[in-house]
Chain A
Amino acid sequence: DQQVKQNSPSLSVQEGRISILNCDYTNSMFDYFLWYKKYPAEGPTFLISISSIKDKNEDGRFTVFLNKSAKHLSLHIVPSQPGDSAVYFCAASTITGKLIFGQGTTLQVKP
């Protein structure tokens, strides 16, 4: 039972354009959401997070939007850069602190 889903395995965008990565979840008890980025042969690294009491969080080029009624979150990267090419995982957490990850979306930013 996949509680956190990233339905797009891959995404390709042109440098300078916006990248939008999507994530859906099923468990209404999730109260915290995070995005991680992963390069090949490396561990995931934290990118940005959002609490369920907010609907938007921004950090530089990265913005995460949360729509609780739709159980949907998205990560916007503006402008996209070739160095952003990586696998992006969304993750959700309950009060117990266990993070449940989605399957990941591979982003390719073309120069």
Chain B
Amino acid sequence: NAGVTQTPKFRILKIGQSMTLQCTQDMNHNYMYWYRQDPGMGLKLIYYSVGAGITDKGEVPNGYNVSRSTTEDFPLRLELAAPSQTSVYFCASSYDLAGTTGNTGELFFGEGSRLTVL
């Protein structure tokens, strides 16, 4: 059971380059999320999706784009990489919203993608 799979695990980009972080889940979860973790800053929500074809902004969406064409996949795109986007990125999925009756709202996280922009 793979759970949430992220690729690549590591990447170095030059300023201005673009790239896509891939995320796929095999749990048939409707909800998917992208977070970034900066040192001492916890996890910040970038974008999230409540189902195929539906996405919405989180706390720190600037500089990123997402799409959700299938239930399984939720790629995160960086169009013009900047040093401020150096971070560890985590994709996550959940069965239902936190607090929904009978559900803890637990998020299942991938192992993370470490991105450095030089």
Question: Which listed residue (A43, A99, A101) contacts B111, Cβ 8 A?
Answer: A43
In the complex the two chains form, is B106's CB within 8 Å of A43's CB? no
Interface segment, A13-21, A73-81, A90-98?
A90-98
Assess whether A34 is in contact with B98, with CB atoms less than 8 Å apart: yes
B40 within 8 A of A: yes
Give the interface segment out of B11-19, B41-49, B61-69: B41-49
Q: A98-B48, A98-B58, A99-B45 are in contact. Are A43 and B92 (CB under 8 A)?
A: yes
Flag whether A70 is at the interface (Cβ < 8 A). no
Q: Give the residue name and chain of the A residue nearest to B96 (CB).
A: A97
B40 x A9 contact (CB < 8 A): yes
B99 touches A31 (CB 8 A): yes
> Interface size of A by Cβ–Cβ distance < 8 Å?
28
B43 touches A89 (CB 8 A): yes
The yes or no answer to A103 lying at the interface (CB within 8 A) is yes
A51 to B101, CA, bound (A): 10
Contact present for A100 and B99 (CB under 8 Å): no
Contact between chains at B92 and A34 (CB < 8 Å) = no
Docked Cα-Cα span, A102 to B54, in Å, equals 26
Closest to A102 in B: B42
CB distance from B23 to the nearest CB of A (A): 11
CB contact under 8 A between A93 and B111, given known A34-B105, A98-B48? no
A46 pairs with B106, CB closer than 8 A: yes
The 5 listed contacts between A and B (C-beta, < 8 Å) are: A34-B98, A43-B112, A45-B109, A97-B31, A101-B35
Query: Which residues on A are within 8 Å of B, measured CB to CB?
Result: 4, 6, 9, 31-32, 34, 36, 41-46, 49, 51, 89, 91, 93, 95-104
Top 5 A-B residue pairs of the complex, sorted by shortest distance between their CB atoms? A43-B109, A97-B97, A32-B99, A93-B98, A101-B43
